[in-house]
Structure 1
Amino acid sequence: MIYYAIIKKHPFYMKKNFLIVLLSILALSSCSKDDDVTEELVEEPTTEEPEEEPEEVTLDREDYPIQDFIYQAMNVYYLYKADIPELADGYFTDTNEYVTYLSENPDPENFYYDELISDQDRFSFITDNYIELENSFSGVSKSNGLKFSLVRFSNSNDIFGYVRYVAPNSNASSTIIERGDLFMEVDGTQMTINNYQTLLNQDTYTLNLASVSDNTVSNTGESVTLTKEEGFTENPVYIAKTLDVDGQKIGYLMYNSYVSNFDSELNAAFADFKADGITDLVLDLRYNGGGSVATAIDLTSMITGQFDGQVITKQQWNAEAQAYFESESPESLISRFNSTIYTGTDQEEAINSLNLNRLYVIGTGSTASASELTIIGLRPYIDVKLVGSTTVGKFQASATLYDSSNFGRTNANPDHTYAIQPLIYTYSNANDIVGPATGIIPDFELEEDLTNLGQLGNPDEPLLRLALDQILGKSRSTKRRAGPAYQLVGETDMFSPTYQRMYDNRLPEIKK
């Protein structure tokens, strides 16, 4: 109370005290801020925990079963293994590196074609449906029965087709279409190099028929509608007949595919030839793109018979496989003349042999693989003459490899239907002659002329006539008159997985 009275009575003291109070407040405020700064300076830094490194993922082969199977099969059997560095034994340092390689190739087809196929290989392939492939090897396919060639006009993208033959009991056989007919349009659309595959791959289509006159192909106004049938089966023994020409019995066999399922029918045809007492045989392989090695061996034995047990071909595999067979199973590298046909079972059927010393074969640019094996396999033993034009030049065999422990069909992985069909060996004949990649050159040259195809099996058909003339010792000019200038583009089965392929039914096992 006394202090208050003094201030109130003396203004100087009031001002002085006010200043003191103000300075005290400012001092306290300053101290508070300094304390905050001090606390911030002495505060311990927060310790950040180091980031954990991701755990290393271990890859598993079982995660890539299809790629693993493809690689392992190619590593063992592929003919051109030496061309692919990744297929070399020991190329991968450990399993993880190998599985990483598999994981980088998620698409099986791209993996097969882009990574594992040699540039010199025209024939190896992969399928995602081996059931369909097996049917094809058995002569079963989706077909309307029309067999044709496709040719391209010179200096043009336009294409026309001509009918080679019509398979019996097919959809096409119930129509008016026949050998020699021409067609340019499918469903009213002109075929070109760009659209013919799409047009002809339809299940049902209509062909507008055409004719040729003065080197000009034009529509006739007629048309034929054809429908492909599932499960159509074609007997490759197309014509088997005995011709009586100038008092001489000559056999004629038009054989269109080496299909083991029809070996009994083939053997029966030779029984008929034998019963007829033929002295010569014309083997027409002009449209035969090949097939089973076993059937080719059987056919050579049917034509002959006097060389039972002797060597027909000698196989050459990749270096590792060849060394294995030479050490463990040298006989598996040899194909020999035999006395029973291949059936794939324990049942045996005696071969009907003709014991011929010469053979005339009709061949063309569609004659390949097992057909060519028949020709060069027989040449060391009998006189084989080729009539027609140069063959394809395909002297490697393939095999179907499945996802199983030994790559055979038994116990194949049930989770998928992938299989591969790689080339596994090439071969020479008994005289160590390897067929030329450019094809076998004819001894008597004559190309088919679409303006004069003739009737198959008729002695006046141009190629058969030429073969018969040689048998009978008649000389005849093989020059053919000029026809329309055109280039062969393809044929009916060119997109089939078995087109111009030769396959070995009996895959010898390699144990590593």
Structure 2
Amino acid sequence: MKPARTALSLVLALQLAACGGGGGSSSAPPTGGGGGTPTPSPTPTPAACSLSAQQDFADQVLNEWYLFPDLLATVNRNSVTNLDDYLDARVAPARAQNRDRFFTFATSIAEENALINSGASAGFGVRLSYDNTARRLFVVEAYEGAPGLAAGLDRGSEILAIGTTASNLQTVSSLFASGGSQAVANALGPSTPGTARVLRFTRPDGAIVEQTVAKTEFSITPVSSRYGALVLTDGARKIGYINLRTFIVSDAANQLRSAFATFSAQGVRELIIDLRYNGGGLVSVADTFGDLMGQGRVGQVWSRTVLRPSKSSENETRQFRTEANAIAPTKVAVITTGASASASELVTNSLIPYLGNNLALVGANSFGKPVGQFGFDLAACDLRVRAVAFKTVNANNQGDYFTGLASVVPNTCRAGDDISRPLGDPREASIAAALDFLAGRACTPIAGSGQDNAVSTAPGLTGPQAARIGLDLPDRLPLQPKRPAPAQHELPGLF
């Protein structure tokens, strides 16, 4: 299986096109970000795309590329009925050691490429989180141009009841009581355009409304036009605030360049990087982010990609590159929660050698994913197997933050995610704590950091949902179905 390097999701990827199920031949893969929505060719036969053929393909990928070859289990193929369960069973020993918390999975080539190339997704266009104890469901973010925001759902809204008609509304509390968070996710329906639900919810202004909202196709904008890039003031100091929703959309790099052009023009040297819901994405975007903070560091090491010993020839060292509007930040606060993962953590970890005590993690501990997947394609079946195949380290070769970044970032400041205030508002709890750090004011350390070794857990949560949550939990958890769609892998809580 001979790979060709390309830019795909979850920090870095390797794409193989039309690689036969159990064989070793492959055609030349496309370059770049995927190049549109592929049409399977030739038309797959049932045998070529059978579960057995998919398992053959998955075995070939894992046996050759999996980062932890000694942590692969032998599985009775007849004991499972789908490829995801087979992959979960094969990597179970790595999961038991906290090395692969459902990071290895199967997905659709077409859907993932559409997400990468244009941000295309389908749904209400809102991010949801829930209070597991109080059985309440909240909107923490809403996307411009999507039906949710148009219907009045925005940060701070609470969804009270869900139904397919006004006559069969079920309260969110009763759904939690009957089947936990999965029952709530099921009630919201599939991510299919045209799927409609009657929602009873409170608007941010407190008004309670009942409205039918239909899921549609929409494009995710990585940097919000409302609050994505702002210059805040704290006394006489100018603070650059950047909220990056995702690294997965390729245009995020250009949107970051536009933001830093503003920061550079206004003389910004201190930054708040808000990654509180950012589940990761393209390594090329993470690299651009680094370059934009690399004025005076061109040619120095940004990050390193390390594979298993048998694949060490594929290891890479990424150095800072020239960007026209790069700045040299003197102090940076990174806002994270348990939903911040992968490329979000790569950027933060890579800043440690250059900022030291002038870097802080603010909010809650991050997810803890210092490893990344390569993508291997069985094109005729629209199947992409994403398998953990590498880890990333910074210029000091630091990287094993499987319990989250709070254990490695020099400073931490614990703060809540105050959904009663808009993102970008200096009065919002995490942004206020970030401003305190930048100004030298005191803050409370995050649990699980070197400053505070207490670690909280997630009572009542099991399986994939529990494994996707960071160890230092916020009050709310991202609502996530058992088998997320491609966009939900990258943006936890997206519906």
- TM-score, normalization: structure 1? 0.68
The runs of 5 or more residues in structure 1 that have no matched partner are 1-59, 88-100, 213-218, 340-349, 404-411, 480-484, 503-512
Q: Which residue of 2 aligns with 1:180?
A: 156
The answer to whether the 8 Å contact 1:296/1:374 transfers is: yes
State whether structure 2 residue 193 is matched by structure 1 residue 223: no
- Helix, strand or coil: the match of 2:385? strand
Deviation string, structure 1 residues 69-92 (Cα, Å, up to 9, x no partner): 3222222211122222669xxxxx
Residue 220 of structure 1 deviates from its aligned partner by: 6.2
Q: Which residue of 2 aligns with 1:395?
A: 370
Give me the whole-angstrom Cα distance separating, in 2, the residues matched to 1:160 and 1:391.
Answer: 23
State whether structure 2 residue 57 is matched by structure 1 residue 69: yes
Q: Which residue of 2 aligns with 1:427?
A: 392
CA change 1:247–1:220 in 2 (3 A) is closer
Residue 226 of structure 1 deviates from its aligned partner by: 2.0
Aligned AA for 2:67? L
What is the aligned counterpart of 2:108 among 129, 153, 157? 129
What is the aligned counterpart of 2:171 among 179, 186, 190? 190
Residue 177 of structure 1 deviates from its aligned partner by: 2.4
Aligned AA for 2:139? V
For 1:26-425, list aligned pairs within 5 A.
65-84=53-72, 108-115=83-90, 118-120=93-95, 121-127=100-106, 129-138=108-117, 139-153=119-133, 159-187=135-163, 188-191=169-172, 192-193=175-176, 194=179, 195-202=183-190, 203-210=195-202, 221-230=208-217, 232-238=218-224, 239-258=228-247, 259-322=249-312, 325=313, 332-339=315-322, 350-382=323-355, 383-403=358-378, 412=379, 415-425=380-390
Q: Which residue of 2 aligns with 1:47?
A: none
Work out the percentage of aligned pairs sharing the same amino acid: 24
The answer to whether the 8 Å contact 2:245/2:278 transfers is: yes
CA change 1:476–1:422 in 2 (3 A) is closer
CA change 1:244–1:264 in 2 (3 A) is same
Give me the whole-angstrom Cα distance separating, in 2, the residues matched to 1:459 and 1:439.
Answer: 26
Give me the whole-angstrom Cα distance separating, in 2, the residues matched to 1:251 and 1:109.
Answer: 42
Q: Which residue of 1 aligns with 2:4?
A: none
Aligned AA for 1:389? A
Give me the whole-angstrom Cα distance separating, in 2, the residues matched to 1:75 and 1:320.
Answer: 11
Residue 229 of structure 1 deviates from its aligned partner by: 0.9
The answer to whether the 8 Å contact 2:364/2:474 transfers is: no
Deviation string, structure 1 residues 295-353 (Cα, Å, up to 9, x no partner): 1121011122221122222333223112xx1xxx6xx42222222xxxxxxxxxx4521
The answer to whether the 8 Å contact 2:243/2:275 transfers is: yes
Aligned AA for 1:122? R
Give me the whole-angstrom Cα distance separating, in 1, the residues matched to 2:333 and 2:198.
Answer: 38
Residue 478 of structure 1 deviates from its aligned partner by: 9.1
The answer to whether the 8 Å contact 1:369/1:500 transfers is: no
Give me the whole-angstrom Cα distance separating, in 2, the residues matched to 1:353 and 1:434.
Answer: 25
The answer to whether the 8 Å contact 2:304/2:394 transfers is: yes
Give me the whole-angstrom Cα distance separating, in 2, the residues matched to 1:439 and 1:476.
Answer: 19
Residue 499 of structure 1 deviates from its aligned partner by: 4.5
Q: Which has the higher contact order (CA 8 A, sep 6+)?
A: 2
Q: Which residue of 2 aligns with 1:343?
A: none
CA change 1:71–1:132 in 2 (3 A) is same
Structure (1 or 2) with the larger CA radius of gyration: 1
CA change 1:109–1:123 in 2 (3 A) is closer
CA change 1:129–1:245 in 2 (3 A) is same
Q: Which residue of 1 aligns with 2:415?
A: 446
Residue 471 of structure 1 deviates from its aligned partner by: 2.1
- Helix, strand or coil: the match of 1:250? strand
Q: Which residue of 1 aligns with 2:10?
A: none
Aligned AA for 2:398? I
The answer to whether the 8 Å contact 1:182/1:210 transfers is: yes
Residue 363 of structure 1 deviates from its aligned partner by: 1.2
CA change 1:141–1:312 in 2 (3 A) is same
Q: Which residue of 2 aligns with 1:409?
A: none
The answer to whether the 8 Å contact 1:387/1:446 transfers is: yes
Residue 102 of structure 1 deviates from its aligned partner by: 8.4
Q: Which residue of 1 aligns with 2:41?
A: none
The answer to whether the 8 Å contact 2:231/2:240 transfers is: yes
Task: Give RMSD over aligned pairs.
Answer: 3.2
- TM-score, normalization: structure 2? 0.70
Give me the whole-angstrom Cα distance separating, in 1, the residues matched to 2:207 and 2:428.
Answer: 25
Deviation string, structure 1 residues 28-47 (Cα, Å, up to 9, x no partner): xxxxxxxxxxxxxxxxxxxx
Aligned AA for 1:428? V
The answer to whether the 8 Å contact 2:138/2:159 transfers is: yes
